[in-house]
Amino acid sequence: MTTELKCPKCGGVGVRGSTGRGQCKKCNYGGVLYMFDQTGMAARLKELQSQNRSLEQENKRLSAESSDVAALRQMIGTIGSRIITPDSPAWLLPKPSGKGTVHGIPTLMLSDLHWGEVVFPKQVNNINSYNVTIAKKRLARVVEGSVRLLRETLSPGLFGGMVVILGGDMVDGAIHDELRETGELTVIESVISVHDALVPHLYALADEFGRLHVPCVAGNHGRLDKKPRIKQRQKLNFDWMLYQFLARTIAESKYKDKITFQIPDGDDASYRIYNTGYLLTHGDKFTGGNGICGPILPWMRGDMKTRKQYGAMGQSYDWMAMGHWHQLRYLDGIIVNGCLPGFNEYAMRMGFGCEPAQQALWLTHPVRGLTFREAIWADEPLNKTSREPWVSVSK
């Protein structure tokens, strides 16, 4: 049986024999004949080559993600839960006893450290830079600055302990290809590095204030998936792994009775300080913020919906604390934290405000609730002295 096909050499009609090869009737070309001409074949070949390149890139990305997941599973192993408290520890609830001024319980919020990120100065008009070395210096300055502010600004008095919030995006992650390409460390290296940086600071704060409670929530940058997920959101996140390692390290140290961790399975962590209820969330589930009011409306809308939801569950709160937005704000019932990297390329591109690297610090009084609230700057001021008069009147 024979089939008429086109010759790839002259375009003439040829006949293929039973052996698979054919003979052109016009030019006597003997070889493989095709059912379409060379022009169509070349276009099809180009299309297939393009698809092949795309598949090779996707395969490389999936292989890298698979390596991360395998390493994550190997590193986590079996994690105990004996040091994880689902609720506030008992010492946060009763009023402190003793003589002297009762200042309340200070809260230092550490979030959006983006450990491993690199901010290139020339891409942000040379006003900022960030890498792991700078991150370590800024973290130390935030911790030391919070202690100095509480001890030197307030009169001698009682604190009774401290709450240190770990609010997510502790590592820069690899949810975008550019983060993987420009990061100083891989995600797993970042987890190890920030763990080693945080542990001595937690020890120092426990020594300073006697005891710590550490509520933790995962952010969006640490997730293993490209797209945000709902089920098992926390446990498939490098932030969650970091918190487990921190809790395990503390449990095996002499500080095991001084530091408690609250690592929920869900998105949020609820706790109370005296009579004031707090809800800790990362903040990435609130969207919008490109209008003239910026992110204030999404914050207020998200807080309103969350208050209604938690109120219906009988778990109402007074203050919501969140990170994610890299803008430190104290609003009515809402606390939004800053970030450690400061102004970066993304903020430059999106036209966001140029805010310094800073973290939130506040006090919860046993009677008056949230009182003293401050921003702890992570960098030394550019101008340490001012030659201007302490007050002046324009003429």
In a domain, 395, yes or no: no
Question: DSSP letters along 119-165, please?
Answer: B-GGGGTTS--B-HHHHHHHHHHHHHHHHHHHHHHSPSEE---EEEE
Strands 369-377 and 358-365, bridge-based pairing: antiparallel
Distance of CA 182 to the CA centre of its chain: 16
Residue with tokens 């938690």: 310
Is there a single domain that holds both residue 198 and residue 329? Answer: yes
Task: Give the closest residue to 197 by CA, choosing from 243, 135, 147.
Answer: 135
Is there a single domain that holds both residue 271 and residue 125? Answer: yes
Which conformational region is residue 245 in: left (phi greater than 0), alpha (psi within -120 to 50 degrees), or beta?
alpha
The band of 76, judged by pLDDT with boundaries at 50, 70 and 90, is low
The band of 6, judged by pLDDT with boundaries at 50, 70 and 90, is low
In a domain, 48, yes or no: no
**pLDDT tens-digit series, residues 121-178:** 999 999 999 999 999 999 999 999 999 999 888 878 888 899 999 999 999 988 888 8
Is there a single domain that holds both residue 179 and residue 106? Answer: yes
Distance of CA 311 to the CA centre of its chain: 28
In a domain, 53, yes or no: no
Is there a single domain that holds both residue 182 and residue 303? Answer: yes
Question: DSSP letters along 87-125, please?
Answer: S--GGGSSPP-SSSEE--EEEEEE----BT--B-GGGGT
Tokens of 204: 């120092």
Is there a single domain that holds both residue 253 and residue 130? Answer: yes
**pLDDT tens-digit series, residues 249-278:** 999 999 999 999 999 999 999 999 999 999
User: How far lies 211's CA from each of 84, 163, 262, in Å?
Assistant: 15, 9, 14
In a domain, 69, yes or no: no
Q: What is the CATH number of the domain that holds 92?
A: 3.60.21.10
Q: Torsion angle, CA of 90/206/274/362, rounded to 10 degrees?
A: -160
pLDDT of residue 31: 63
Is 257 in contact with 180 (CB distance < 8 Å)? no
Q: Which of 53-57, 285-289, 385-389 has the highest mean pLDDT?
A: 285-289
Domain that holds residue 12: 3-35
Is there a single domain that holds both residue 9 and residue 109? Answer: no
Is there a single domain that holds both residue 17 and residue 85? Answer: no
In a domain, 278, yes or no: yes
In a domain, 46, yes or no: no
Is there a single domain that holds both residue 303 and residue 355? Answer: yes
Is 139 in contact with 166 (CB distance < 8 Å)? no
In a domain, 65, yes or no: no
Is there a single domain that holds both residue 26 and residue 113? Answer: no
Is there a single domain that holds both residue 101 and residue 18? Answer: no
The band of 59, judged by pLDDT with boundaries at 50, 70 and 90, is confident
- 264: how many CB neighbours lie within 10 A of its CB? 18
The band of 232, judged by pLDDT with boundaries at 50, 70 and 90, is confident
pLDDT of residue 329: 95
In a domain, 311, yes or no: yes
pLDDT of residue 281: 96
What's the total number of domains in the chain? 2
Is there a single domain that holds both residue 112 and residue 8? Answer: no
pLDDT of residue 155: 79
Is there a single domain that holds both residue 178 and residue 98? Answer: yes
